[in-house]
Structure 1
């Protein structure tokens, strides 16, 4: 293949990422990930910020993971500071999939408490993947400030992130249970229950936690 032909193929693939059909964009991202090329990276990162289709965004993330982290990290780390919520969320999601701990310093307290639920959830998932061992307890304390936030999916995401940190979260959950607002206490109790009994199910854990908080009765672990 001549250089000119290769350049034309690259240009064609990049243009397809902006095609009006989501299926065309999906196939373009798949093709780029199948044959990684440094010239694709900036466009992949840029497209993540605006792509409306979830499946295509997932393929864009996969395509980025197929490139060397040394190529993808600079652009993604820039995107986590974007004013566009989708850019922040998708960049954080991609960083969690890449798993390169050089990205850890970019996971700030501001991102972990971002006003946009999708951004915050992506930050929580990225944080538990990237956090150094010696900073897990501190991360648990920061995550605990979000207990009781949002609806079911947001709370479940936070519980999963905390549980991924392991038993280091127990002192933090204990403090939240003792001193937190009712919603935070319920969420902390449910998370602790799931840590001890992963098969309990989130709905059951939440309902049990509501009963404990409402009645002031001890949890199973306290009996």
Structure 2
């Protein structure tokens, strides 16, 4: 029943991603604990759901690197690097709609960025895109919280929203698929490492471990 529950959960939430189907993945040798943020349980149709965020950045696994190569090529660009930013883990408890039985299920969604050789926007154009995000930010956090659980805060201040494809390289400032809450210190790491990824520098230009972190 965990298999059916995982499928129902993932289709309900996003319609994409990769489900664990009730099993816990085995970390790669040498994996280290990730920065972790566990959100409160959230009531959803048929039960309740909990979101846990695990933060990198890590080198992309082979699957993600291949996806990036295809994405960049389809857009007429060259892949320079790939950065695995975070994993979004979803746990669900409840009853299936079609069967009156209790189930537990889980899914994980790998969030990664393809550093294609995108042209950089001008400072003015980047500022314009950032203004769009800042004007939408509070409403976006509220909508995200309804879907995944309360937007994280630290000492009373909301965590920054990280744009997977950054605004400087043409990222959509308000697309919900392009933004997720990032722990402040981790967000600083993303900011420092993005230029190296776009420049094709190590380690972002090579494939990494299948699962580089542990849940602990």
Q: Does TM, scored on the shorter chain, surpass 0.5?
A: no
Q: Which of 1 and 2 has greater Rg?
A: 1
TM-score of the two chains, using structure 2 as the length reference: 0.21
Whose helix fraction is larger, Structure 1's or Structure 2's? 1
| Greater relative contact order (Cα < 8 A, sep 6+) | 2
